[in-house]
Amino acid sequence: MATKTSPDKKKTGKAADTTNGEPQAFKVIGTRPIRHDGVDKVTGRAIYGADVQMAGLVHGRILRSPHAHARIKAIDMSAAEKMPGVVAVVTGKDMPDLRDKMADLGEGTVNLAHLGANCLAHGKVLYKGQAVAAVAATSPHIAEEALKKIKVEYEPLPAVTWVLDAMKDDAPLLHDNVFTSEMGKLGKQPSNIAVHLHFEKGDVEKGFAEADVTIEREYKTASVHQGYIEPHVSTALWNHDCHLTIWTSTQGAFTARQQTAELLQIAISQVTVVPCEIGGGFGGKISVYLEPVAAILSRKCGRPVKMIMNRNEVFEGTGPTPGSFVRVKLGAKKDGRLVAGEAWLAYDAGAFPGGMIGPGCMCVFSCYDLPNARVDGYDVVLNKPKTAAYRAPGATQAAFACESVIDELAEKLGIDPIELRLKNAAREGTRRVDGPTYPRVGLVETLEAARNSDHWRSKLTGKNRGRGIACGYWFNIGLKSSAAANVNPDGTVTLVEGSTDIGGTRTSVAMQLAETLGIAAEDVHPQVGDTDSVGYTDVTGGSRVTFATGLAAYEVGLDIRRQMAARAAMLWECKPEEVTFADGVFRRGDKSTSFKELAGKMHQTGGAVVGRATVDPEGPSHGFGAHIADVEVDPDTGKVTVLRYTALQDAGRAIHPSYVEGQMQGGSVQGIGWALNEEYFYDDSGRMRNASYLDYRMPTAFDLPMIDTIIVEVPNPAHPYGVRGVGETPIVAPPAALAAAIYRAAGVRLRELPMAPHRVWTAKKMTNDEC
Amino acid sequence: MATVFIPPQMRDLTGGADRVAAAGATLREVLRALEAVHPGLAARVALGEGIAPGLAVSIDGAITARGLLAPVQPESEIHILPAIGGG
């Protein structure tokens, strides 16, 4: 089922479909209620990290490295410590020695020494902007001035900022204790190549030998930042009872708590993390930066310490997504059937190991049923900020390469690009190159919806204009979620869940509870709890919240229904199992009572009803999308204007279609920015030269048309309401879709991101000169 | 018996075999059975009570969160993969 939607559509009314073969008619799911936190957010009353105030608050600032690579020979803090108004100064020496300690953070394991050094350097700085020391003072201005009094003696070292350069034998070595890991087998010599992955399926040489057409191309992408509007902000209070409370902007209160406790080597029960409202994260607010630093400053001065990064610090001191080099080779028969694929990917991890090469390798051919394939991937450290997740981390770089080669194959074979993709599309039972097979997925339906869309069927006219299409994939993960709900005597329900709300998930989770209880979405009052108020919940990331925390809300609803049925049985003097529930009404024989009526009798029948659930769904929900782009290329300047853009995606089931559309639009816009403009510019000494929004060019509303959306619904069999994650897939396809459109508009194939005007103009000029 | 797919970079431990059969009701038991035949394999996949850092294990298409305690069926397909997160 495909639904063309537009952002101004208010309600779709009832949605009816089948999940797992069972007919389902929904009252709440598929509608568009006003978000529960909407009023607070549009009136400015919602509490973000910067709004946190308390008695005795002081302000922290961080001194950052001016060098991309240097040894720290000495730090003299004495002058800063003597400044009036300064209450604490700390360096990496104020943090525990964490050599060789690892911690499992739910989404993966981290090396604590690396994580700690990324918060405050130990002995060496590995990128410009790395934190070296921190000051707390009675005003942010005094703190800023005090930073200038800290004297750091550096021994500058050669730096490297391009991934292929960092892989060379004579490249400056960042770590003498990082050895190349090949699925756990370590190399013998220290290396900037932290990880080498290798996947293989079938007989690649035989596959290419059978191919009628083979295309091999190389692609480069620049580092780009997640670009969240709200900078990192944390306030920490190390109380006199040694309990640490942190108010912070984070994608995961529980992971922030664990990282902080592990870094400071204190008991996890000693830390409470209160997640504030969050002004965007996109993967960049999972790792801690300020939290442990604010904590040790507070411990030292005995006062609450608030730290806010400025935009420059966000760019230079927090994780962008990897810059990359990718080579893709595909072979096909004349009829368009793919017979072999080979990919070689090198992603930069930034200053510390642990980049996005794994998902890059696993996603590069994920849209296609390739009988023979080989993938090699390298995670490479270099003198740039430690990379962080960014919406489908690692997938966009890989898709830019693979989808661009697919487009070239379609042209060479004379086959429509959608038909070529449909012929080879991954579907239920397709085995990926990394091994697992897909369950029921919706790529075919998404491509068919693209083929039938008004956009694809419309004619694009005018000079210098072209249309492109590309596909994208992201796993979508499960992980742990908890929720609890109290039934109120007026029949409303207060829901506390552990997922910080970035994209409207309070509402999408509350709607699943409302659907399960047969009440209105507005009758559920959702809140995001702190780490002392709700059960363990993993990060808001991996497109998991509406899926996994929604599943927790569904289970909470079932728990409440069971308890309420027992209350009805008490009133009707029957056994609980004789009471049925449907459409918000409990029934036994000719007796019935609505959920609300029964809630009013709660205190007569035993007191409060509290539902709770914790879930840990293991299956990924596999999100596929297809994007269509129309562009016009200015032949004189190379500037690319996006004329029309349509994002299609299998959402499984759209709980709140507006939020699904919002994710599709937001992801598309970020992908367009990555494709056309965004880029970390580094000079020869490894310094970023455009660390502000004035110079780092993100798209604005003036640059873009309305992003049209088409939601495809192929219900996920692993969720009671059929939900798939939707947040990340939309960023994957835009660069390749735009590259294909630019080719048709200007006759040049761009293989390096961003496809900024100078690159388009230069490529076009070179083509013209050759002619 | 479950089928364990061996990634290319671990096939030095299985004599080049890309998949091996092993019995066990949990991942721990499967690895124990594998270790008896292919020494060194379990140490590459597991560390202590959990999966080794940087790795994940997929059982029948689902990345298990239960580590070595993950249940395994006789017909299960087990894959050793890099760990992934999300944004």
Residues A641-670: pLDDT tens digits? 999 999 999 999 999 999 999 999 999 999
A18 in contact with B, Cβ within 8 Å: no
Q: Once rounded to an integer, what is the mean pLDDT over residues B14-18? A: 96
State the virtual CA torsion across A532, A534, A539, A545 in degrees, nearest 10.
Answer: -160
Scanning A96-135 for CB atoms below 8 A from B yields 102, 104, 107-109
Sign of CA dihedral A358, A360, A364, A367: positive
Nearest to A222 by CA among A738, A767, A688, A742: A688
Top-tier CATH class for A1-9+439-476+620-771: alpha beta
Decide if B62 and A620 are in contact by the 8 Å CB cutoff. yes
**Taking CB atoms and an 8 Å limit, are B7 and A183 in contact across chains?**
yes
How far does Cα A222 stand from its chain's mean position? 18
Nearest to A91 by CA among A60, A136, A121, A116: A121
Closest CA to A385 of A347, A348, A351: A351
Query: Nearest residue on chain B to A439, judged by CA atoms?
Result: B61
Q: Topology of B2-82 in CATH? A: Ubiquitin-like (UB roll) (3.10.20)
CATH topology for A161-228+320-390+399-436 is Aldehyde Oxidoreductase; domain 4 (3.30.365)
**Contact between A572 and A530 (Cβ < 8 Å):** no
Tokens at residue A51, please? 């709004």
| pLDDT tens sequence across A136-195 | 999 999 999 999 999 999 999 999 999 999 999 999 999 999 999 999 999 999 999 999
Domain coordinates of chain A in residue numbers?
1-9+439-476+620-771, 52-157+232-308, 161-228+320-390+399-436, 478-615
Are B87 and A182 a contacting pair at CB < 8 A? no
The residue assigned the tokens 């490249």 is: A171
Q: Residues A469, A740: contact at Cβ < 8 Å?
A: yes
**Average pLDDT in chain A:** 95
Task: Name the residue among A526, A489, A497, A488 with its Cα closest to residue A510.
Answer: A526
The Cα–Cα gap between A586 and A380 comes to: 60
Chain A residues in contact with B44 by the CB 8 A cut-off are 183-185
Tell me if B84 and A477 make a contact (CB, 8 A cut-off). Answer: yes
Q: For the segment A219-259, what is each residue's pLDDT rounded down to a tens digit?
A: 999 999 999 999 999 999 999 999 999 999 999 999 999 99
- Kindly tell me if the per-residue pLDDT of A320 is higher than 80: yes
Chain B residue with the nearest C-alpha to that of A360: B84
- Give the CA distances from residue A665 to residues A157, A281, A706, A771, B87, in Å, rounded to whole numbers and listed in that order: 43, 16, 8, 39, 16
Report the C-alpha dihedral over residues A713, A718, A723, A728, rounded to 10 degrees. Answer: -100
How close, in Å, is residue B31 to chain A by CA atoms?
16
Q: How do residues A344-371 score in pLDDT, each as one tens digit?
A: 999 999 999 998 999 999 999 999 999 9
Between chains, do A542 and B9 touch, taking CB under 8 Å as contact? no
Q: What is the pLDDT of residue A103?
A: 81
pLDDT value at position B87?
73
Q: Is B23 on the interface with A (CB under 8 A)?
A: no
Fill in the DSSP letter of residue A549.
I
Residue A1 has pLDDT above 60, yes or no: no
Compare CB distances from B82 to A358, A392, A474 and report the shortest one's residue.
Answer: A358
* Each residue's pLDDT tens digit, A743-766: 999 999 999 999 999 999 999 888
Interchain contact, A183 vs B10, CB within 8 Å: yes
Judging contacts by C-beta atoms under 8 Å, the chain B residues touching residue A544 are 86
CB contacts, 8 Å: A479 with chain B: 65
DSSP state of A35: P
Nearest CA in chain B to A542: B86
Q: What are phi and psi of A669, to 5 degrees?
A: -65, -40
* Residue from A91, A83, A76, A173 nearest A130 by CA: A91
* A108 → closest Cβ in B58, B64, B85: B85
How many Å apart are CA A56 and CA B60, to the nearest integer? 55
Two tokens, residue A438:
């897909």
Q: Which residues of B touch A104 (CB under 8 A)?
A: 50
pLDDT band at residue B85 under the 50/70/90 scheme: confident
What's the pLDDT at A3? 56
CATH of A52-157+232-308, one of 1.10.10.60, 3.90.1170.50, 2.30.29.30, 3.20.20.80: 3.90.1170.50
B44 in reach of chain A (CB within 8 A): yes
Q: How many residues does chain A have?
A: 771
A475–B84 C-beta distance less than 8 A: yes
Residue carrying structure tokens 């990496």 = A92
3-state secondary structure of A656: coil
Residue of B nearest to A285 (CA): B87
Alpha-carbon gap, residue B56 to B65, rounded angstroms: 9
A379 forms bridges with which residues in the sheet? A195, A347
Domain covering A478-615, topology: Aldehyde Oxidoreductase; domain 4 (3.30.365)
Q: How confident is the model at residue A101 (pLDDT cuts 50, 70, 90)?
A: confident
* pLDDT of amino acid A768: 78
A5 Cβ partners below 8 Å, 6+ apart? A657, A661, A709, A710, A711
- How many angstroms away from the CA of A200 is the closest CA of chain B? 7
Chain A CB contacts of B7 below 8 Å: 183, 198-199, 435
Give the CA-trace dihedral at B18, B24, B28, B34, to 10 degrees: -40
The two beta strands, A324-332 and A213-221, are antiparallel
* Inter-chain CB proximity A109 and B8 less than 8 Å: no
Query: Residue A597 above 70 pLDDT?
Result: yes
Is the Cβ of A618 closer than 8 Å to some Cβ of chain B? Answer: yes
The alpha carbon of A711 is separated from its chain's Cα centroid by a whole number of angstroms, namely 20
* A449–chain B nearest CA distance, Å: 27
What's the rounded Cα separation, in Å, for the pair A413 and A338? 12
pTM for this prediction: 0.96
On whether any CB of chain A is under 8 Å from the CB of B10, the answer is: yes
Using alpha carbons, select from A46, A17, A44, A14 the residue that is nearest to residue A30. A14
A225 vs A284: CA distance, rounded Å = 8
- Could you say which of A185, A358, A619 has the minimum Cβ distance to residue B83? A358
Q: Cβ of A102 and B53 within 8 Å?
A: yes
Arithmetic mean of pLDDT, A694-703? 94
The mean pLDDT value for A668-687 works out to 96
Can you tell me the distance from the alpha carbon of A505 to that of A608, in angstroms, rounded to the nearest whole number?
26
Cβ atoms of A340 and A331 closer than 8 Å: yes
Digit-coded pLDDT (tens) for A260-290: 999 999 999 999 999 999 999 999 999 999 9
pLDDT in tens, A467-524: 999 999 999 889 999 999 999 999 999 999 999 999 899 999 999 999 999 999 999 9
Domains A1-9+439-476+620-771 and A478-615 share a fold: yes
CA distance A472 to A616: 26
Interface membership of B5 toward A (CB under 8 Å):
yes
A107 confidence band (pLDDT: 50, 70, 90): low
Q: Write out pLDDT tens, residues B21-71.
A: 999 999 999 999 999 999 999 999 998 888 998 899 999 998 898 899 999
> Model confidence at A12, in pLDDT bands (50, 70, 90)?
very low
A13 confidence band (pLDDT: 50, 70, 90): very low
- B42: nearest CA partner in chain A: A184
| A620 cis-preceded (ω within 30 degrees of 0) | no
